[in-house]
């Protein structure tokens, strides 16, 4: 939608002074009693007031440029201000295939809101873009349900999508709307990728993913679950059976930990821990070492500094409350808070919920009792040395600073690697860095003529919105290639 500047009569100065109107969230003590979302939604009048703070920056607005999906945020905010909520929701839908999900999980503080002119202005608080986006899509849902949208007449062309995470779902939807027949193959029992099997329900209720999948099925997309391409069906077979293949397999392998004692009962990898804590048993994938809620003990240590670490901390606090323990969850990070890569908002939420932090701290070994259960952890203090290849100062152990803490549960949130399976089993598919698929970032084209790829499986672990962006670029290129050939 183009912005009509002639009709805008905006007193930018008054807007610049308008104070932020945030949505409230549940008190921490209440949040700990469940795994549901914690934020309330705007009332209509509040949403209009908050949106009316937007000063309608000249086109292209910084918030729009900072959005990986290039959402036309100023136009949506103008419509919200005028009470035209469904039209505003549709503005988000023009560029985003899943605004109900992005509005909840995007780290807006580093994207749209991080670049909002208000952030550095008199009010010093950005427009609450994420919460307004969430409000309008919820409003639309309540009034008219999830809009199905249009599908072009059948083209007779068939596309296979490997991986049903945000990248795969976005590519599948785009291609289906262009009239191609689309089948999604996914290794898990349910589609959604990390939207189901990673991000906890207190950040993103699973119902939104289920509803998205229902919409895609209603559009005619077929889903084949519990099927790992490269093991159950070779990728080459899909290339023979389909006109094009999109690969969005993510990067879901926990970085292996090499410390003594990581095999003890009570020491978890973050991936498995989060699935067991957050995913209903009937949807948990086969192949987990154990299923059901992980029995956290009285003293929990989480190692890592990213969003996954914070998700483990907050899940552990809820599990401790559920199991009747006093709260005792510590996040240990080998650098300082300033170098922590995770989202500040989520860290603040964790603090409110009772998380403790130990900076400049790393594990040395995990110590078990006679039955093979974790009973203590040896830790060491770190200091910061010269910057490493990431530009952050390298953590260096302080010799002689080792100490032992009692612990019943340790969770290792050290990051994720790609699964090398497709690269290993597909002749001619170029990969690098332990299995990331080599693909052109603009078109998603890989070394194989019928195969495109995008998402975390190409970039390494990143964000939902960037995975969608890559998938949409690839899907556009697939559509052009199919139309040309
Ligand atoms: C704990 C955690 C919390 C996160 N929190 C956030 C957040 O708050 N905000 C945010 O923006 N991002 C967050 N992320 C990152 C975000 O979830 C990912 O960047 C995003 O899901 C990547 O999408 P994708 O489609 O590329 O991969 P995935 O979501 O990983 O999906 C890949 C899919 O491919 C399937 N698959 C893999 N191999 C095969 C195969 N061989 N055959 C068939 N199927 C296969 C998998 O089953 C999976 O369904 C988080 C990640 C984690 C781990």
Tell me which residue has tokens 């409000």: 135
Residue of 164, 250, 312, 331 to mutate, ligand 1, most atoms within 8 A of C-beta: 250
The tens digit of pLDDT for each residue in 39-64 reads: 999 999 999 999 999 999 988 999 99
User: Cα–Cα distances in Å, from 360 out to 304, 328, 455, 483?
Assistant: 11, 19, 32, 55
- pLDDT at site 451: 98
Report residues whose beta carbon is within 6 angstroms of any ligand 1 atom.
Answer: 105-106, 162-168, 185-188, 193-194, 198-199, 203, 228-230, 248-250, 252, 274, 307-308, 311, 419, 421-422, 455-457, 461-465, 467
Looking from the CA of residue 285, the nearest atom of ligand 1 is: 47
The fold adopted by the segment(s) 5-144 is: Fumarate Reductase Iron-sulfur Protein; Chain B, domain 2 (1.10.1060)
H or E stretch covering 382: strand 374-387
3-state SS record for 219-284: CCCEEECCCCECCCECHHHHHHHCCEEEECCCCCEECCCCCECCCCECEEEHHHHHHHHHCCHHHC
Q: In the chain, which segments carry CATH 3.50.50.60?
A: 158-252+417-484, 256-414
The tens digit of pLDDT for each residue in 172-216 reads: 999 999 999 999 999 999 999 999 999 999 999 999 999 999 999
Query: What is the model's pTM?
Result: 0.95
- pLDDT at site 268: 96
- pLDDT at site 11: 77
Cβ neighbour number for residue 13 with a 10 Å cutoff: 9
As a residue count, the chain comes to 485
CATH number of 256-414: 3.50.50.60
Angle, CA 290 vertex, CA 286 and CA 295 arms, to 5°: 140
Looking from the CA of residue 419, the nearest atom of ligand 1 is: 38
* CA–CA separation, 244 and 95 (whole Å): 23
Q: In the chain, which segments carry CATH 1.10.1060.10?
A: 5-144
- pLDDT at site 341: 87
The token pair at 283 is: 């949807």
* Residue 158: burial class (beta carbons within 10 Å; 0-12, 13-18, 19+): middle
Q: Which residue lies with its CA nearest to atom 53 of ligand 1?
A: 198
The fold adopted by the segment(s) 158-252+417-484 is: FAD/NAD(P)-binding domain (3.50.50)
Residues of the chain with pLDDT under 70: 1-10, 121-123
* Residue 334: burial class (beta carbons within 10 Å; 0-12, 13-18, 19+): buried
Question: Which backbone phi and psi does 311 adopt, to 5 degrees?
Answer: -65, -35
Cβ neighbour number for residue 3 with a 10 Å cutoff: 15
- pLDDT at site 121: 66
């Amino acid at each position: 939608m183009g912005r009509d500047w002639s009709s805008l009569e905006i007193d930018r100065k008054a807007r610049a002074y308008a104070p932020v109107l945030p949505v409230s969230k549940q008190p921490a003590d209440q949040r700990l009693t469940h795994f549901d979302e914690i934020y309330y939604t705007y009332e209509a009048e509040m949403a209009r007031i908050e949106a009316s703070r937007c000063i309608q920056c000249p086109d292209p607005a910084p918030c729009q440029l900072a959005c990986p999906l290039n959402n036309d945020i100023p136009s949506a905010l103008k419509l919200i201000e005028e009470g035209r909520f469904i039209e505003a929701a549709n503005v988000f839908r023009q560029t985003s295939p899943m605004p109900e999900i992005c509005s909840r999980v995007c780290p807006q503080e580093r994207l749209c809101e991080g670049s909002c002119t208000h952030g550095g202005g008199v009010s010093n608080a950005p427009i609450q873009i994420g919460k307004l986006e969430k409000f309008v899509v919820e409003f639309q849902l309540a009034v008219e349900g999830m809009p199905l949208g249009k599908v072009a007449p059948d083209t007779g062309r068939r596309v296979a999508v490997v991986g049903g995470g945000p990248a795969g779902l976005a590519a599948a939807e785009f291609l289906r709307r262009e009239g191609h027949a689309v089948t999604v193959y996914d290794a898990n029992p349910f589609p959604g990728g990390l939207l189901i099997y990673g991000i906890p329900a207190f950040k993103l209720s699973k119902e939104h993913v289920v509803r998205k999948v229902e919409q895609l099925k209603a559009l005619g997309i077929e889903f084949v679950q519990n099927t790992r391409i490269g093991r159950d069906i070779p990728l080459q077979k899909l290339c023979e059976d389909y006109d094009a293949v999109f690969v969005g397999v993510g990067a879901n392998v926990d970085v292996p930990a090499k410390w003594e004692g990581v095999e003890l009962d009570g020491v978890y990898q973050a991936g498995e821990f989060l699935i067991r804590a957050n995913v209903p048993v009937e949807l948990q994938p086969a192949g987990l070492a154990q299923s059901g809620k992980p029995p956290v003990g009285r003293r929990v240590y989480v190692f890592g500094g990213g969003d996954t670490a914070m998700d483990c901390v907050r899940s552990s606090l809820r599990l401790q409350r559920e199991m009747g323990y006093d709260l005792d969850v510590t996040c240990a990070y080998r650098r300082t808070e300033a170098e922590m890569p995770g989202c500040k908002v989520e860290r603040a939420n964790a603090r409110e919920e009772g998380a403790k932090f130990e900076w400049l701290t790393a594990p040395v070994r995990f110590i078990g009792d006679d039955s093979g259960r974790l009973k203590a952890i040896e830790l060491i203090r770190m200091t910061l040395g010269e910057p490493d290849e990431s530009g952050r100062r390298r953590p260096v152990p302080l010799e002689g600073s080792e100490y032992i803490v009692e612990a019943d549960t340790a969770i290792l949130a050290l990051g994720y690697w790609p699964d090398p399976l497709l690269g290993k089993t597909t002749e001619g598919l170029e990969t690098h860095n332990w299995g990331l698929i080599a693909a052109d970032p603009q078109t998603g084209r890989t070394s194989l003529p019928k195969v495109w790829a995008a998402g975390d499986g190409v970039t390494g672990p990143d964000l939902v919105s960037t995975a969608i962006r890559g998938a949409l670029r690839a899907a556009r290129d697939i559509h052009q290639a199919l139309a040309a050939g």
